[in-house]
């Protein structure tokens, strides 16, 4: 039994499906409009695959002008719109509903301009995250936010969810790297916000658009900061006999004035699952492992590593394993970035995304284990330790409705725990439908109403991705 | 207008009560911290003032988590002292406006958030808005609202923190802020390259900022009557890295000339002076503009302005931030500046000018009709009666 509710589809819209599809057909080329049931099925869910809804139709516009025409038309018809990047949301942010049209940005996939002097790239929103780095890597540059799904996920989706990644500890998340967007409002108005300069003129609308989960408009272009890569980077594996020791080591590294570019944590189940998949040379005889990346010149990396090793020894580190080659370094990161996929080979899973103060990591790990065990399920932990962004992967069988319900309840208990210790429900995946009904654990009705009033400035008719983020009945209350 | 009433709430609930009373009495409020940046924005037209002077104190500081929370009226100096004791800092290096405005008093951390105040390190580490991870504020309905929190990564709900940051007190009364921090670099050094013209200087800064050596400050001071042009580049890290990177940078930038160096202490005072716009603080009666543009277009912008305006400028943020001082006569150069910015992109703010001029001119870059509509909507969604700092950012908003 699915526990997360979707609103009842509007029968008046469903009844007018043919007319609405015909209207869309007048606005875009035939290959940009998907109407058959078979083809629509590819859009009925995202990476939260336990939930799916068949959209009314799917439009894949080829230009900002087409997006504008489509939104203006759907707005006029009172039809809901679910914007979609690559559909990799773990929170169900891109799951449609039966009375909504999906507007996907996948055909907007060109890099428009790269400017190294100003360290900015202008891209269409359907470009993939890794696509930007691939285009500039030969010149020594990269785009910093690096979600695990970076091979597939789009900048549009990254903007929608304010995506993070393993290297955010040093470089920050999406919101710190977007300088400007071209966005289509629900009535078809095209607005340019920001540009290739730093900081907003007037209210920081860009700041509220990033992370708005497709509820303020459809972003079609973005100007993103690009950074020069360090001279070299080297991930180093640190094995510990307990999670507590690994957690204490993380805090102590930062306390000593060192901010490595990444500090990733894996517990024993996560190490075993990913090592079997990636053969990255992870130590199998430890209870917890940190991947700490140092960067700079060879001498700088040596020095920084020596400092970190000295700290790790105080916390009883058992194994220190440096990558000996670029290939080994790539394997270490491949293992980490495929942790979710590797877990998916073992079992179905849901991935939590709460962030906690780093001083509470050990406690939250221990409680997470207890909570999941109390539901008779298994958990693997792999997460961004430096910034306290946890990713417990709760494993279950998707074909067993009772087990799915238990997994979701365990996940909810963990997220409530994250909020209780001073953290939040989601660090980088977004609220979507998954955490929508938990929002009241983190926010008061007053907090939520203020957010919803801002949302309504952009989309007064509540047509954009309407069933996400805010508890459905909070809207009635407002 | 004389301001008869000054409210000095001691708690967030006091703030909420004052706001509710002002709502009932339809009495707009000027929001004030230390009052050192009162000249920033259009002169506000409010009969009463709400001061955060008594809303002080650090409420949470966890050095190992690199996070600090403080009530809005806490002096920045108190925050920096606490951070200094633990070898940490506010990474965005907030400017102190006292030199520019010849003002007295203590700048507050709430105003740093309210006005999104950053300094030279913004180019590498990000702005105040990038480090502000949590806020508490009272909106124009007299409701206490929380957004964000105290953890490093948080995408839960709409990011109202960003909207309120830089809203110059027009959306709410900030009562408490939470910033993320960084370790204070153990050593600082500066490379000084003499004699570059503006175009070459920006090319030099772009090369430095596009290098792997983590340049954390890049400014250019054009030639004046008394001093030759200087392009300055800052490197900060552990001492061994600073030594190595200065060497590498010097080699990389050799096409731009043979540089000299400033070591730790002289570097700190140079960058403090640039942060506070010391080179253009005097004479104090000149108008001061702050322009944010794409770095490589900044020299063209200045060349266009020099055709009609006399004045002095310097570039920060690798050229992306241009400070320009000109005579406070006529329209303070507004028409020429708006036209030039229209061609290069970016935006200009009239940071310093007499009250009557800032009342008559657009202080902030005028918005397109579509963005103005959203701006008015956002203002109303926080402050439906227009209670806070009326007209501070835009006339009638």
Q: Which of B151, B182, B183 comes nearest A424 by C-beta? A: B151
CA distances from B347 to A201, B39, B97, B303 (A): 6, 19, 20, 16
Q: How far is A35 from chain B (nearest CA, A)?
A: 32
The two tokens of residue B112 are 């740093």
User: A252 contacts in B (CB within 8 Å)?
Assistant: 64
Task: Check residue A364 and give its pLDDT.
Answer: 94
Percent of chain A with pLDDT over 70: 99
| Triad B264, B123, B164: Cα angle to 5° | 120
What architecture does CATH give domain B1-184+367-397?
A: 2-Layer Sandwich (3.30)
Tell me the pLDDT of chain A averaged across its residues: 95
User: With contact defined as beta carbons under 8 Å apart, do A387 and B151 qualify?
Assistant: yes
- Chain A environment of B391 (Cβ under 8 Å): none
H/E element holding B62?
A: strand B58-62
Q: What is the mean pLDDT of residues B118-126?
A: 97
Residue A478 pLDDT level (bands cut at 50, 70, 90) = low
CB pair distance less than 8 Å for B381 and A203:
no
Nearest CB partner across the interface for B294, out of A118, A168, A357: A118
What radius of gyration, in Å, describes the C-alpha atoms of chain B?
Answer: 21
Class of domain A233-339: alpha beta
- Count Cβ–Cβ pairs < 8 Å, chain A vs chain B: 259
Domain locations in chain A as residue ranges: 11-104, 111-228, 233-339, 347-436, 437-477
Q: Do B154 and A427 touch (CB under 8 A)?
A: yes
Contact B370 A189 (CB under 8 A): yes
| Measured distance CA(B312)–CA(A415) in Å, rounded | 55
Contacts of B165 in chain A (CB under 8 A): 204, 207
Check B371 against A205: CB less than 8 A apart. yes
In angstroms, rounded to a whole number, what is the distance separating the alpha carbons of residues A282 and B207?
Answer: 39
Residues B296, A211: C-beta atoms closer than 8 Å = no
Q: Which CATH architecture has domain B187-275?
A: 2-Layer Sandwich (3.30)
- Could you tell me which residues come within 8 angstroms of residue B25 by beta carbon, excluding any fewer than 6 positions away? none
From the list A76, A89, A30, A93, the residue with the least C-alpha distance to A57 is A30
The terminus-to-terminus CA distance of chain B in angstroms comes to: 19
What is the C-alpha separation between B379 and B377, in angstroms, rounded?
A: 5
DSSP B88: E
What is the rounded radius of gyration, in angstroms, for the C-alpha atoms of chain A? 22
Average pLDDT over residues A70-94: 97
A199/chain B closest Cα distance in angstroms = 8
pLDDT at A474: 86
Q: Assign A1 a pLDDT band (cuts: 50, 70, 90).
A: very low
The distance in angstroms from the start CA to the end CA of chain A is 30
Asked if A198 and B321 come within 8 Å (Cβ–Cβ), the reply is yes
Residue B1 has pLDDT above 80, yes or no: no
Higher-confidence residue: A168 or A228?
A228
Determine the Cα–Cα distance for residues A279 and A223; give it in Å rounded to an integer. Answer: 37
| Cα–Cα distance measured from residue A433 to residue A90, given in angstroms and rounded to the nearest whole number | 10
Residues of chain B neighbouring A116 (CB-CB closer than 8 A): 206, 210
SS3 annotation, chain A: CCCCCCCCCCHHHHHCHHHHHHHHHCCCCHHHEECCHHHHHHHCCCCCCCCCCCCCEEECCCCHHHHHHHHHHHHHHCCEEEEECCCCCCCCCCCCCCCEEEEECCCCCCEEEEECCCCEEEEECCCEHHHHHHHHHHHCEECCCCCCCCCCCEHHHHHHHCCCCCCHHHHCCHHHCEEEEEEECCCCCEEEEECCCCCCCCCCHHHHHCCCCCCCCEEEEEEEECEECCCCEEEEEEEECCHHHHHHHHHHHHHCCCCCCEEEEEEHHHHHHHHHHHCCCCCCCCCEEEEEEEECCHHHHHHHHHHHHHHHHHCCCCEEEECCCHHHHHHHHHHHHCHHHHHHHHCEEEECECECCHHHHHHHHHHHHHHHHHCCCEEEEEEECCCCECCEEEEECCCCHHHHHHHHHHHHHHHHHHHHCCCECECCCCCCCCCHHHHHHHCCHHHHHHHHHHHHHHCCCCCECCCCCCCHHHHHHC
Nearest Cβ partner of A458 from B67, B347, B374?
B374
Tell me the two tokens of residue B26.
């339809």
Chain A nearest C-alpha distance from B330 (Å): 24
Q: Is the predicted ipTM greater than 0.85, yes or no?
A: yes
Q: Is the peptide bond before B152 cis (omega within 30 degrees of 0)?
A: no
Does A451 contact B209 at a Cβ distance shorter than 8 Å? no
Cβ contact A425–B156 (<8 Å): yes
- Do the Cβ atoms of A152 and A86 come closer than 8 Å? yes
Rounded to whole angstroms, the Cα distance separating A179 from A182 reads 11
Residues of B in contact with A458 (CB under 8 A): 374, 377
Which residue of A115, A185, A212 is in closest CB contact with B158? A212
Measure in Å the smallest separation between the Cα of A438 and chain B Cα atoms. Answer: 10
Decide if A98 contacts A43 (C-beta within 8 A).
Answer: no
Is A357 close to B62, i.e. CB distance below 8 A?
yes
Inter-residue contact B188 to B236 (CB < 8 Å): yes
- CA-CA distance, B219 to B232, in Å (whole number)? 5
Q: What is the per-residue pLDDT across B325-377, written as a single tens digit (0 to 9) for each?
A: 999 999 999 999 999 999 999 999 999 999 999 999 999 999 999 999 999 99
Q: Provide, as residue numbers in chain A, all residues whose Cβ is less than 8 Å from the Cβ of B365.
A: 201-202
How far is Cα B75 from Cα B90, in angstroms, rounded to an integer?
A: 13
Chain A residues in contact with B64 by the CB 8 A cut-off are: 251-252, 254-255, 358-359
Q: Check CB contact under 8 Å for A205 and B374.
A: yes
Report the alpha-carbon distance of residue B54 to residue B6 in Å, rounded.
Answer: 12
Does the pLDDT of residue A477 top 90, yes or no?
A: no
Q: Among A120, A231, A387, select the one facing B153 at the smallest CB separation.
A: A387
Per CATH, which fold does A111-228 belong to?
3.30.465
The beta-carbon neighbor of B155 closest among A231, A359, A427 is A427
The C-alpha atoms of residue B238 and residue B216 are separated, in whole angstroms, by 14
Distance between B395 CA and the closest CA of chain A, angstroms: 13
Which residues pair with residue B183 across a beta bridge? B88
The domain made up of A347-436 has a fold known as Alpha-Beta Plaits (3.30.70)
Are B157 and A456 a contacting pair at CB < 8 A? no
DSSP character at residue B148: E
B-chain residues within 8 Å CB-CB of A140? 212
| Residues A423, B377: C-beta atoms closer than 8 Å | no
Q: Are B214 and B234 in contact (CB under 8 A)?
A: no
Nearest chain B residue (CA) to A434: B156
Residue B247 pLDDT exceeds 90: yes
H/E element, B261 = strand B260-262
CB A255 within 8 A of CB A313: no
Both tokens assigned to A267? 């517990």
Instruction: Give the nearest partner residue to B154 out of A172, A208, A355, using CB atoms.
Output: A355
Q: How far is A32 from chain B (nearest CA, A)?
A: 28
Our CA angle for B333, B334, B340, nearest 5°, is 90
Q: Is B365 in contact with A201 (Cβ distance < 8 A)? A: yes
Contact between chains at A202 and B370 (C-beta distance less than 8 A): no
- CA-nearest residue to B127 within chain A is A199
- Nearest CA to CA, how far is A16 from chain B (Å)? 32
Q: Nearest by CB to B320, from A189, A197, A356: name it.
A: A197
Tokens of B386: 């227009």
pLDDT of res. A328 = 87
- Compare CB distances from B130 to A172, A426, A431 and report the shortest one's residue: A172
- Asked if the Cβ–Cβ distance from B368 to A303 is below 8 Å, we say no
Whether A233-339 shares its CATH topology with A347-436 is answered: yes
Residues A330-370: pLDDT tens digits?
889 988 988 888 999 999 999 999 999 998 998 999 999 99
pLDDT at A445 over 70: yes
Distance CA B72, CA B113 (A): 9
Distance from C-alpha of A464 to C-alpha of A66, rounded to nearest angstrom: 17
CATH fold of the domain at A11-104:
3.30.43
Nearest alpha-carbon partner for B96 in B27, B34, B166, B184: B34
Closest CA to A97 of A189, A10, A216: A10
User: Which of A197, A230, A464 is the best substitution to test chain B (most B C-beta atoms within 10 A)?
Assistant: A197
- Residues forming a β-bridge with A394: A350, A379
B278-360 classified as CATH 3.40.50.1000: no
Say if residue A84's pLDDT is above 50. Answer: yes
State the pLDDT at residue B202.
98
Contact A388 B152 (CB under 8 A): yes
Q: Determine, for residues B184 and A257 on separate chains, whether the beta-carbon distance falls below 8 Å.
A: yes
Q: Is A197–B346 a contact, with Cβ atoms under 8 angstroms apart?
A: yes
Query: What residues are paired with B32 via a beta bridge?
Result: B51
The alpha-carbon gap from A300 to the nearest alpha carbon of chain B, in Å, equals 6
DSSP element (H, E) containing B243: helix B239-252
> Rounded to whole angstroms, how far apart are CA atoms A105 and A181?
14
CA distance A309 to A316: 10
**Domain ranges within chain B, ordered by starting residue:** 1-184+367-397, 187-275, 278-360
Question: A394 φ, ψ to 5°?
Answer: -90, 120
Q: What is the pLDDT of residue A2?
A: 55
Name the DSSP letter for residue B317.
Answer: G
Q: pLDDT tens-digit profile of B30-52?
A: 999 999 999 999 998 799 999 99
């Amino acid at each position: 039994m699915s526990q997360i509710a979707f609103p009842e589809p509007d029968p008046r819209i469903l009844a007018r499906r043919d007319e609405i599809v015909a209207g869309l057909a007048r606005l875009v080329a035939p290959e940009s409009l998907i109407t058959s049931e078979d083809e629509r099925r590819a859009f009925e869910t995202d990476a939260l695959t336990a939930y799916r809804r068949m959209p009314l139709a799917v439009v894949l516009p080829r230009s900002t002008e087409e997006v504008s025409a489509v939104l203006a038309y759907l707005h006029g018809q009172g039809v809901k719109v679910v914007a979609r990047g690559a559909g990799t949301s773990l929170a169900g942010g891109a799951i449609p509903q039966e009375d909504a049209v999906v507007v996907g940005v996948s055909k907007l996939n060109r890099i428009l301009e790269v400017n190294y002097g100003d360290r900015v790239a202008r891209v269409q929103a359907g470009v993939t995250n890794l696509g930007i780095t691939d285009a500039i890597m030969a010149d020594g540059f990269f785009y910093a936010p690096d979600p695990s799904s970076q091979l597939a996920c789009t900048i549009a989706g990254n903007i929608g969810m304010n995506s993070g990644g393993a290297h955010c500890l040093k470089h920050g998340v999406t919101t710190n790297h977007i300088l400007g967007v071209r966005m289509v409002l629900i009535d078809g108005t095209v607005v340019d916000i920001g540009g290739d300069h730093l900081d907003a003129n007037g209210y920081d609308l860009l700041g509220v658009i990033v992370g708005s989960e497709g509820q303020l408009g459809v972003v079609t272009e973005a100007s993103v900061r690009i950074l020069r890569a360090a001279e070299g980077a080297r991930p180093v594996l640190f094995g510990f006999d307990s999670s507590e020791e690994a957690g204490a080591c993380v805090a102590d590294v930062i306390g000593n004035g060192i901010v490595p570019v990444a500090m990733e944590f894996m517990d024993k189940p996560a190490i075993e699952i990913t090592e079997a998949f990636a053969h990255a040379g992870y130590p199998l005889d430890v209870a917890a492992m940190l991947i700490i990346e140092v960067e700079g010149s060879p001498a700088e990396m040596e020095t920084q590593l020596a400092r970190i090793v000295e700290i790790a020894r105080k916390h009883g580190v058992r194994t220190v394993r440096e990558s000996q080659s670029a290939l080994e370094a790539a394997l270490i990161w491949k293992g980490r970035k495929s942790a979710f996929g590797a877990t998916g080979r073992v079992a179905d899973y849901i991935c939590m995304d709460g962030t906690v103060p780093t001083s509470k990591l050990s406690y939250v790990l221990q409680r997470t284990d207890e909570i999941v065990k109390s539901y008779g399920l298994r958990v693997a932990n792999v997460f961004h330790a430096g910034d306290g962004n946890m990713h417990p992967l709760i494993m279950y069988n998707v074909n067993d409705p009772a087990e799915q319900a238990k997994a979701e309840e365990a996940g909810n208990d963990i997220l409530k725990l994250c909020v209780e210790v001073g953290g939040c429900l989601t660090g980088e995946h977004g609220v979507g439908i998954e955490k929508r009904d938990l929002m009241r654990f983190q926010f008061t009705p007053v907090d939520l109403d203020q957010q919803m009033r801002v949302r309504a400035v952009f989309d007064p008719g509540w047509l954009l991705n309407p069933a996400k983020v805010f508890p459905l009945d909070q809207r009635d209350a407002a | 207008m004389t301001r008869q009433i000054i409210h000095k709430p001691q708690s967030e609930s006091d703030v909420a009560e004052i706001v509710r009373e002002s709502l009932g009495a339809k009495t707009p409020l000027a929001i004030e911290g230390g009052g050192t940046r009162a000249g920033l924005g259009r002169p506000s037209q409010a009969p009463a003032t709400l001061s955060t002077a008594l809303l002080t104190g650090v409420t949470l500081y966890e050095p190992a988590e690199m996070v600090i929370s403080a009530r809005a009226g806490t002096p920045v100096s108190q925050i920096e002292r606490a951070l200094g004791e633990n070898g940490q800092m506010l990474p965005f290096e907030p400017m102190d406006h006292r030199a520019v405005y010849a003002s007295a008093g203590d700048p507050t951390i709430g105003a740093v958030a309210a006005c999104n105040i950053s300094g030279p390190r913004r180019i590498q580490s990000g702005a105040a808005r990038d480090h502000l991870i949590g806020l508490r504020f009272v909106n124009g309905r007299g409701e206490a609202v929380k957004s964000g929190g105290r953890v490093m990564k948080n995408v839960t709900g709409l990011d109202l923190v960003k909207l309120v940051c830089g809203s110059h007190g027009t959306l709410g009364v900030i009562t408490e802020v939470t910033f993320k921090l960084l370790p204070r670099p153990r050593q600082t050094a500066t490379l000084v390259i003499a004699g570059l013209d503006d175009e070459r200087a920006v090319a030099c800064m772009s090369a430095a900022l596009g290098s792997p050596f983590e340049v954390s400050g890049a400014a250019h001071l054009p030639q004046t009557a008394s001093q030759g042009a200087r392009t300055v580049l800052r490197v900060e890290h552990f001492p061994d890295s600073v030594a190595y990177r200065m060497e590498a940078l010097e080699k990389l930038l050799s096409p731009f000339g043979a540089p000299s160096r400033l070591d730790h202490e002289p570097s700190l005072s140079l960058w403090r002076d640039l942060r506070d716009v010391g080179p253009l603080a005097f004479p104090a009666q000149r108008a001061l503009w702050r322009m944010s543009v794409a770095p490589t277009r900044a020299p063209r912008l200045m060349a266009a302005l020099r055709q009609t305006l006399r004045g002095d400028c310097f570039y920060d943020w690798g050229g992306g931030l241009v400070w320009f001082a000109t005579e406070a006569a006529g329209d303070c150069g507004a028409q020429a500046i708006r036209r030039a910015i229209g061609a290069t992109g970016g935006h200009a703010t009239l940071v310093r000018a007499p009250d009557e001029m800032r009342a008559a001119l657009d202080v902030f870059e005028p918005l397109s009709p579509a963005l103005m509509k959203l701006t008015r909507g956002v203002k109303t969604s926080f402050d439906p009666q227009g209670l806070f700092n009326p007209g501070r950012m835009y006339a009638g908003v």
